[in-house]
Amino acid sequence: MTKKTYEEINEKIRSGAAVVVTAEEVISLVKERGIEETAAYVDVVTTGTFGPMCSSGAFFNFGHPKPRMRMSKVYLNGVEAYAGIAAVDAYLGATQLPETDPANKSFPGHFNYGGGHVLEDLVAGKEVFLDAYSYGTDCYPRKSYQKAIKLEDIPYAVLYNPRNAYQNYNVGVNLSDRTLYTYMGILKPNLGNANYSTAGQLSPLFNDPYYRTIGMGTKIFLGGGVGYVSWFGTQHAPEAPRGENGVPLSPAGTLAVIGDLKQMSPKWLRGISFLGYGVSLMVGLGIPIPILDEEILKYTAVSDEEIFAPIVDYSQSYPQGLGEVLGRVSYAQLKSGQITLGGKVIPTASLSSYAGARQIATILKEWIQKGEFFLTKPAFTLPRSNEGIDYKRSVGEEIL
């Protein structure tokens, strides 16, 4: 019976003796050696995901110009950052559009630039134009401030994403006879394609379905740098229906995460545009799972064949909030390039990058192997039931 503690695993990382594998590699390892032996052998399983995560953004403090200013309107490259907090603080959200963007007035809008792109430009070291306005006060007399700034000039910049790393997500399809432009990408009419968006067997929360090791304070790979899980995310819904293996059958857990923007890279924070929908940010996120016992190891060995996603119609069911599921398919089927629904073969595409997820899990594995990254024991793990999560929704409703 394998039992390990965080301290023991960190000691092995320190001495270079820790065995670290990715959530992909552990699958074949368990097939070869079985649960017991692999649990004793492996210390850490690394996961990864690199996909669109709209609920992302960054807190900034710009420092005071002279004379001082209470910035009440803040724009970065024309994209407004929320400034209803302290004098020179602001939060830039990934999906914010410049006020000049025509959005969907000419449908489908192109959405070539927005909050996510500003974040990418900043971490790429590019100059961004700060444009700030104020009504002026006795203590903060300045009313206007404009300056081209780089991330290195900003005293404080922290990525704070209220909802990332969704544990499972819908497969979007279109039953109607017109093309749909959604946050699930372009959905062609009459089941022309099926789009999904998770990394399946590599995705963090699929590998620890009951959040035995993930919670507030878990140290993670975030946007190319080091971050932490800060809370459970918005819409965290642990009571979603689950399969026998514990894996949710519909969107369930989510993470709120935080990290120093200055450590991050444009490779893993990527501004993106969804035709007819808007802008967003692709976030690279990876979580190491300590193999504290055999059960945790067993969960990390889950494979794409054993993870199922709900197929949802984005012409009616989703926009109208009807909660209907057309069927469920495994990630193995989705990744094969086609699924069958009602006798019709439908080509599939992902919005989340599996190659990116694999790379993140590998980078995180290397950080741990080199003794540069240690595991943290969370202050509390993510809630496993809705009890204590203070948000209201109708009983039995699946969040889709």
Partner 1 sequence: MREKMVLYFPASVVEQPLTYSLIKEYNLMVNILKANINPKMEGRIVAEISGKKEDFEAGLDFLRSRGVKTFPLEQEIVWVEERCTHCGACSVICPAGALVMERPEMVVRFKGEKCIICEHCITACPSRAMEVRY
Residues near partner 1 (CB under 8 A): 50-52, 108, 110, 112, 185-186, 188, 192-193, 195, 270-275, 280, 282, 335-337, 347-356, 358
Q: Which is nearer to partner 1, 50 or 211 (CB)?
A: 50
What 3-state class would DSSP assign to 64? coil
Q: Which is nearer to partner 1, 225 or 356 (CB)?
A: 356
Residues 290 and 6: beta-carbon distance below 8 Å: yes
Q: Which is nearer to partner 1, 34 or 347 (CB)?
A: 347
The one-character DSSP state at 9 is: H
Q: Which is nearer to partner 1, 30 or 199 (CB)?
A: 199
CB of 225 to partner 1, least distance (A): 18
Determine the Cα–Cα distance for residues 306 and 396; give it in Å rounded to an integer: 24
Q: Which residues, at least 6 apart from 54, have a Cβ–Cβ distance to it below 8 Å?
A: 94, 95, 163, 183, 280, 281
What DSSP letter does each residue of 200-262 carry, written as one string? GGGSGGGSSTT-SS-EET-EEEETTEEEEEEEEPTT--TTS-B-TTS-BSSS---EEEEEEGG
Q: Which is nearer to partner 1, 294 or 304 (CB)?
A: 304
CB of 267 to partner 1, least distance (A): 9
Side-chain half-sphere CA neighbours of 276 within 13 A: 11
CB of 272 to partner 1, least distance (A): 4
CB of 69 to partner 1, least distance (A): 35
CB of 297 to partner 1, least distance (A): 24
Determine the Cα–Cα distance for residues 27 and 11; give it in Å rounded to an integer: 25
The one-character DSSP state at 193 is: -
Q: Which is nearer to partner 1, 349 or 399 (CB)?
A: 349
E strand or H helix that includes residue 271: strand 269-274
Q: Which is nearer to partner 1, 75 or 268 (CB)?
A: 268
Say whether 54 is catalytic: no
Determine the Cα–Cα distance for residues 232 and 229; give it in Å rounded to an integer: 8
**Among 139, 345, 355, 395, the one annotated catalytic:** 139
Determine the Cα–Cα distance for residues 37 and 357; give it in Å rounded to an integer: 27
Neighbour count for residue 277 (Cβ, 10 Å): 21
Tokens of 394: 């109708």
E strand or H helix that includes residue 75: strand 73-76
CB of 186 to partner 1, least distance (A): 6
CB of 191 to partner 1, least distance (A): 11
Q: Return the C-alpha torsion angle 219, 350, 332, 176, nearest 10.
A: 130
Determine the Cα–Cα distance for residues 129 and 223; give it in Å rounded to an integer: 23
Residues that are catalytic: 139
